[in-house]
Amino acid sequence: MLSALRTSLAGQSSQAICRRRMATIAPTLVQSKPTISSQSKHTTRKATGPIKPVYLTLSSFTAKSNSAKKAVALDPTVFDHPIRRDILHLCVVHHLDSLRQGTASTKTRAEVAGSRRKIRPQKGSGRARLGDRQSPMLRGGGVAFGPKPRDFSTKLNRKVIQMGMRVALTMKLREQRLGVLQRINWWSHKTATLSSRLAGLGWRTGTLFVTGESEVPARMRLASRNLRGIECKTVADLVVYDIVKWRRVVLDLAAVDTLERALGKGLLGIADSNRVVSDVAHSSVEGVETST
């Protein structure tokens, strides 16, 4: 009797629980956020003005003073790039890795000449067990895990190298250690005449001359090859490490055109007729550093 009563009560309670509705959240009035039209938003983007070239004083081998009134118009996308020291570090390490020879080599126990006879019996002598004479533990044997010829060069994306070139040229320009000549050429093959002229300009030590021609002019090459601290090369052989290494970099107009064609973004096209100007304000012109 009691068991039947308990069973009936349990069934009624389970049915009541099953018929009970689940608790729901009462609907509340949610204030919708006011929509702001695109026209009423205050934009923080600054209006970009027209791109203006960067002006640099045109240097000369023959002029007596360096305060020339003519200036060279440079592409700001190449010579006014944001400074990225991490990119310079990547480019320098990439170049130095490519210069490592990697010719160190040692002989393993398989390459050492000699007999492969076992030195002494395995047991009975009371001494340590040994194999052949080529064992790395013995003097004159092979080398375990020694160096072998390898390639230390690393891979770096082309766009990273191009950015490193822009950053290096910008740093030289901001440090006033970048010069531009009409043409890197000298009238004599004598070293003494070129040395005296470079001393007058303050370019006697730590100066790299870069030309955009296919090769360095013969007289300039002969006159500068015996001068310590002076080097001449073409723009095709120029790397980021050269710009960082040398204290002063001097380009000619052909090299400037080549660099802007290779590194420029095409936002400002400077024609050859507008490259050299003479009516630029003095405050907007930068000069090359002339101290020794």
Would you say 181 and 59 are in contact if contact means Cβ atoms under 8 Å apart? yes
Q: What is the structure's pLDDT at 220?
A: 95
The closest of 213, 173, 205, 220 to 61, measured between CA atoms, is 220
Q: How confident is the model at residue 278 (pLDDT cuts 50, 70, 90)?
A: confident
The closest of 140, 73, 145 to 112, measured between CA atoms, is 140
- pTM greater than the 0.85 cutoff: no
Measured between alpha carbons, how far is 253 from 267 in angstroms, rounded to an integer?
19
Kind of pairing between the strands at 230-234 and 207-211: parallel
The closest of 5, 36, 63, 44 to 288, measured between CA atoms, is 63
If you write DSSP's letter for every residue of the chain in order, what string do you get? -HHHHHHHHHHHHHHHHHHSPPP-PPP--PPPPPP--TTTS---PPPP-----EEEEEE-SS-S-S--S-EEEE-HHHHSPPP-HHHHHHHHHHHHHHH---------TTTS-S----SS-SSSSSS-----TT-TTSTTS--TT------------HHHHHHHHHHHHHHHHHTT-EEEES----S---HHHHHHHHHHHT-SSSEEEEESSSS--HHHHHHHTTSTTEEEEEGGG--HHHHHHSSEEEEEHHHHHHHHHHH--SSSPPPGGGTEES---GGGEE------
Query: For the chain, what is the radius of gyration of the CA atoms?
Result: 38
Tokens of 159: 């766009």
Q: How confident is the model at residue 289 (pLDDT cuts 50, 70, 90)?
A: low
Residue 29 in this model has a pLDDT that exceeds 50 = no
Would you say 71 and 55 are in contact if contact means Cβ atoms under 8 Å apart? yes
Q: What is the structure's pLDDT at 282?
A: 47
- pLDDT digits over 87-142, tens only? 999 999 999 999 999 999 999 999 999 999 999 999 999 999 999 999 999 999 99
The closest of 292, 247, 255 to 275, measured between CA atoms, is 255
Tokens of 18: 């099953």
Q: Where are the domains of the chain?
A: 54-100+156-286, 102-151
Tell me the residue type at 204. R
Q: How far is CA 87 from CA 77, 159, 226, 248, in A?
A: 16, 11, 34, 20
Measured between alpha carbons, how far is 227 from 220 in angstroms, rounded to an integer?
11
Among the ranges given (77-86, 170-179, 200-209, 263-272), the one the predictor scored with the smallest mean pLDDT: 263-272
Tally of CB atoms within 10 A around 75: 24
Q: What is the structure's pLDDT at 183?
A: 92
Among the ranges given (53-67, 173-187, 216-230), the one the predictor scored with the smallest mean pLDDT: 53-67
The CATH H-level (homologous superfamily) assignment of domain 54-100+156-286 is Ribosomal protein L4/L1 (3.40.1370.10)
In this predicted model, which residue has the larger pLDDT, 18 or 281?
281
Among the ranges given (39-48, 59-68, 140-149, 255-264), the one the predictor scored with the smallest mean pLDDT: 39-48
Q: What is the structure's pLDDT at 290?
A: 54
Measured between alpha carbons, how far is 79 from 243 in angstroms, rounded to an integer?
13
- pLDDT digits over 189-230, tens only? 999 999 999 999 899 999 999 999 999 999 999 999 999 999
